[in-house]
Structure formats: structure tokens, C-alpha cells
Amino acid sequence: MESSDSIEIRLANSLKALAVREPFEKITIKKITDGAGVIRVTFYNHFQDKYELLEWIMRTEILDPVRILMQNEMFREAIVLIFTNMQKEKEFYTHVARMEGQNSFAEIVEKSIGRLLLAIITEHTGGRKGEHAWMTPEYIARYYARAMTFVVLEWIEAGMTMPPEEVATMYEYIATRSLRDVVLELQ
């Protein structure tokens, strides 16, 4: 009997191969399952739809590998690894980044990063709130997930030419300074 992970990987590889050849919106479950050599029922035993499969790809290939780095406060290394792993699948991410509307790539990235950040923040804080009522782990995770999503999308749109180490430097620079600090530095 084939393992669940093996089937999920085959489905993911099929989706990735299809996404570089045709718009994501035109990819059907049948095309994914045909490419993976499984039947439709098998797909639905693992995923609700192709968007959930894309989220699974983001989580397992991009975000899960950085979890241990983030838990150990190695944030720069985690950011470099995120962009390095995305760059390895440049053609795939370039194509899926064009998805817009409901279930857009931006929405999927933000939700996936937000979940990871919320888990890390909650582990580190025990879920405690900050000195302000709005300073909840959820709010902070959403804020940084949106910022990282912006950086990811801009980097992809620019052709992924900036090396991952430089993207990490840029993100770290902006994320660790206030808007006032940045404006003063530009004067």
C-alpha cells in the first residue's frame, strides 16, 4: 500500500508541472490526478481542492523547513531558506503568483505564513498579550505575514533576481526599523 505522503507528493508534482504550462484557473482535478497516476477519489481523500493542495505545497516545501530555525530565533536564516527554496521552483512560483481574486496566491501565502508565525509567537509568549489590548499574537502574526507576503510577491514579480541573502537583509532592515527611522535615514 502506498503511503499518504507519497500520494500527496505525486499530486503536488503533478500540479507543479501543470502550473508552468497553463494558467492555474484552467487546471482541473482530473488533470492533476492524471498526471499523478491516481483517480479523482484519491485526490479528495487528501485535499478539498487544488487551492488546498497549493497551500500544502507552500507549507511542506517552504514553511515547514524553516519552523525549527524560527523556534530557535534564527529569523534571518529562516528568511534566506524561504527564498532559496522558492527560487529552486522559480518557474512554478512565477506562474502561480499570477493567481488573483478569491484564493489568490497572495491570500494563500499570507494565510500560510500567518499560521506559522502565530504558532511561533504563541510558543514563545504562551499566548500572552502585550501591554496594549490590540497587541495579541494573532494581530502580530497577521501584520508580519502581510509584510512578508508583500516582499515575496514583489521579489517574484521582479523575476527573483535578488539573491535570497539580499532579500533577507532588505526585509530584516525594514522590519527592525520604524517608519520614522527609515524616513530620517533617507534625508
The yes-or-no verdict on residue 57 having pLDDT over 60 is: yes
Task: State the CATH architecture for 50-186.
Answer: Orthogonal Bundle (1.10)
* CA–CA separation, 55 and 64 (whole Å): 12
Confidence of residue 4 (pLDDT cuts 50, 70, 90): low
Question: Using CB atoms within 10 A of its CB, is residue 9 exposed (0-12), middle (13-18) or buried (19+)?
Answer: middle
Contact 21, 94 (CB under 8 A): no
- 123-182 pLDDT, tens digit per residue, is 888 767 778 888 888 999 999 999 999 999 999 999 999 999 999 999 999 888 888 988
All CATH 1.10.357.10 domain ranges of the chain, comma separated, are: 50-186
What pTM, to 2 d.p., does this model score? Answer: 0.88
SS3 (DSSP) at 122: helix
The CATH T-level fold of domain 1-47 is Arc Repressor Mutant, subunit A (1.10.10)
SS3 (DSSP) at 104: coil
All CATH 1.10.10.60 domain ranges of the chain, comma separated, are: 1-47
* CA–CA separation, 19 and 24 (whole Å): 6
Contacts (Cβ under 8 Å, ≥6 apart) of 151:
167, 170, 171
| Average confidence (pLDDT) over 47-62 | 96
